[in-house]
Amino acid sequence: MSAATSDIRSGAVAATSGKFDTWRICAWAGPVFLAGFIVSWGILGYNIPPIDPGMALADLQAHYVEHSVRLRAAMGLCLFFGPLYFVFSALLSRFLQKIEGADGPLAVIEQMGGAVTTVVLLVGGVSWLTAAFRVNERTAEGIRQLHDFGWMFFDTTYMATSLQMAAVGLVLLRDKRSLPLFPRWLAWFSFFCAAVFVPITLMPYFLDGPFAWNGAFNYWVGFNCFFLWMALFSYFSFGAISKLEQEEASSR
């Protein structure tokens, strides 16, 4: 092998390594988002478990007045961590593109679903943040309106996330590698998560029971599926990057 050829190959390997370093940085957006969102929105924001939608108007107002500072801090952090979801979704779309091909639409659907889901997270957070802002000047009805709007926008827009997950599942089943980028069972889990959200359509008709926003189905099953989906894809993304890195290195 000539010195020139060796230099070209070394440069190509270095370029490949640099590209996948960026992929790994984006992969960390998944676990950082998940941890930050659970702590800010869930724990600090009093959403694990969430406020009962049937809570008396005076009690809801008292909650926002008493915990105004904590709620503003929680939602502020939620808005900080929320955009990391579209960073991770952009990474997932690149994985799908490697499987589907550059002209496939499903990778685009996944990325757009992630971007819209991020908007949903941000609008919900801003609504609850606004409810806790200047809370002593707001009527109880105004606080409830913002509180309810946050939950309605946050939950009933689930179809953007379901389409994202369905697109992921469809592409993973098309991976013809002897060792797929992601385990094939993750495709079926994505389909399951996409379907689990569908009963949220009933949420506006219930103040209690499994289909309320704090219900066994629409909250505990739905949110746990989403969190587990994020955790699994975050974990397996690092292995998928290593596989792609090896593929590109061996093809040079």
pLDDT of residue 16: 57
pLDDT of residue 247: 87
Cβ-proximal residues to 81 (8 Å cutoff; 6+ apart), any chain: 32, 33, 36, 37, 40
Mean pLDDT per block of 10 residues along the chain (252 residues) reads 45 60 96 98 96 96 98 98 98 96 94 98 98 96 98 97 98 94 97 97 96 96 97 97 89 70
Any idea what DSSP says for residue 50?
Answer: P
Q: What is the largest CA-CA distance in the chain?
A: 81
- How many angstroms separate the CA atoms of 166 and 192, rounded? 9
Do residues 127 and 149 lie in contact, with contact meaning Cβ atoms separated by under 8 Å? yes
pLDDT of residue 102: 87
- How many angstroms separate the CA atoms of 226 and 249, rounded? 34
φ, ψ for residue 183 (rounded to 5)?
A: -55, 140
Q: What is the pTM of this model?
A: 0.90
pLDDT of residue 225: 97
Any idea what DSSP says for residue 93?
Answer: H
Which residue reads 């889901």 in tokens? 117
Which residue reads 């929680």 in tokens? 74
Instruction: List helix spans (H) across 68-105.
Output: 68-81, 84-100
Contacts 24+ apart (CB under 8 A), 122-127: 122/79, 122/82, 122/83, 123/150, 123/153, 123/154, 124/150, 124/151, 124/153, 124/154, 125/41, 125/75, 125/78, 125/79, 125/82, 125/150, 126/75, 126/79, 127/153
pLDDT of residue 11: 47
